[in-house]
Structure 1
Amino acid sequence: MDRRVKKTRTAFRQALFALLDHKPIDEISVSELCRQAGVTRRTFYIHYDQVSDIFSDYQEDMAEQVTHAIHAGKMDPDSLLTIFDQILMANFKAFRYLCQHPQQSDLIPQLTQMLVETFASQLIAGRPAASQQLILQYAAAGLINAYVYWFDHESTIDYGTVVKTNRKLLASTLAQLS
């Protein structure tokens, strides 16, 4: 991607995330977004049709980051969880918004499925049996749902507790694979 295009899209994303702190995406106008980004409406329409397209574009980029990171090589569950946590924290505002507004997101089911596939490829030789597939689905959905729960209860649960608990739960769940 051209450097100027990347810079413009980054400006739109940053503006969108700043505005999302104060209002839902469906209440953000193109004019308001452009003012926040310091970019003209004409430039906006060169790249996007509507405000929600910025978020869709961002979801695709985040999914690519996760896919690239978790397919980097053979890893154990702890390493996979560490990578997932790093990506989450690097994309904190967007991920929190997705978790708190699941109707806006295709990313959560997509991340869950990516985790299932990654766990299967990294932890099971060959095609998983039906019971193993169920365990993998349970582990991935539980991991994602733990973050969703945390974002709704940030004032009562600290991030360290989430990470520590996820490690324990993931290890005990994946131990059922054998």
Structure 2
Amino acid sequence: MDLRTRKTLRSLRAAFLGLRRDRPLARITVRELCERAEVSKATFYLHYHSIIDLSAELQEELVRRVIDELKVPGALLSDPRRFASELFSTFIVHGDEVDTLFSRGEEHALVESVERELRGRVLAENPQLADDLRFNVLLTYQVYGSHATYMRYARGVTEKDRQIVIDAIAEAAEAMARL
């Protein structure tokens, strides 16, 4: 990819994130995005089919980075306490991006994407788990539970309180895995 293309994509992404912080996805138009990014609509359409496509690409990239930062995605099975703690902590580290890209009606897309990406990575190493109900329940519980806890308890709390929340979800994940 040449320098001009990289600059254009950076400009479109930055403009989109700026707009997305202020309003729901459905209220962002290609015209205003292009004005803010200082590119033509034709240039936008060379790279994306729609605002939805741009948003989905940024969401997928964030999810991949979140999962990449988990030290051992397979710890879901071998060390559920550690996995829950890492997943929750990763949501906290990327809180601003999560809140920007997955807010105002897009919250469900985060947990669905994280669960899909984790499932794919674990199954790549353990294909025998594809139809394992216990594995699938634990994965869903961990992802949805960590995210719901993040949404409810991670904002505006002290580091000490955050650690209490992390310990509590890790304890719950460990207890669930023992069932």
CA distance in 2 between partners of 1:22 and 1:74 (Å) = 37
2:140 maps to a residue whose letter is: Q
Contact preservation (8 Å) 1:16, 1:33: yes
Deviation of the 1:21 alpha carbon: 2.5
Q: Is 1:144–2:147 an aligned residue pair?
A: yes
Unpaired runs of 5+ residues, structure 2, are none
Q: 1:78 aligns with which of 65, 75, 82?
A: 82
- Aligned-residue sequence identity (percent) comes to 20
TM-score between both structures, scaled by the size of structure 2: 0.69
1:10 to partner: Cα distance: 2.3
Which amino acid is the alignment partner of residue 109 of structure 1?
E
Q: 1:15-54 counterparts in 2 under 5 A?
A: 15-54=15-54
Query: Contact (CA 8 Å) 2:63, 2:114: kept in 1 or not?
Result: yes
Letter in 1 for 2:24: P
Deviations 1:114-154 (A, max 9, x none): 446768999x9x74964454334222210011223358xx4
Q: Which residue of 2 aligns with 1:170?
A: 170
The alpha carbon displacement at 1:168 in A equals 2.3
Q: Does 1:134 align with 2:132?
A: no
Note the C-alpha offset of 1:20: 1.9
- What is aligned with 1:107? 110
Letter in 2 for 1:140: V
Contact residue 112 and residue 144 of structure 1 kept, 8 A: no
1:58-105 CA deviation, whole Å, 9 max, x = no partner? 112123223433376775543674466346534x44411454334476
Aligned residues: 171
Greater Cα offset, 50-59 or 160-169 = 160-169
TM-score by length of 1: 0.69
Q: Tell whether the 8 Å contact from 2:48 to 2:54 is kept in structure 1 after alignment.
A: yes
For 1:78 and 1:174, the matched residues in 2 are separated by 9
CA distance in 2, matches of 1:73, 1:99: 22
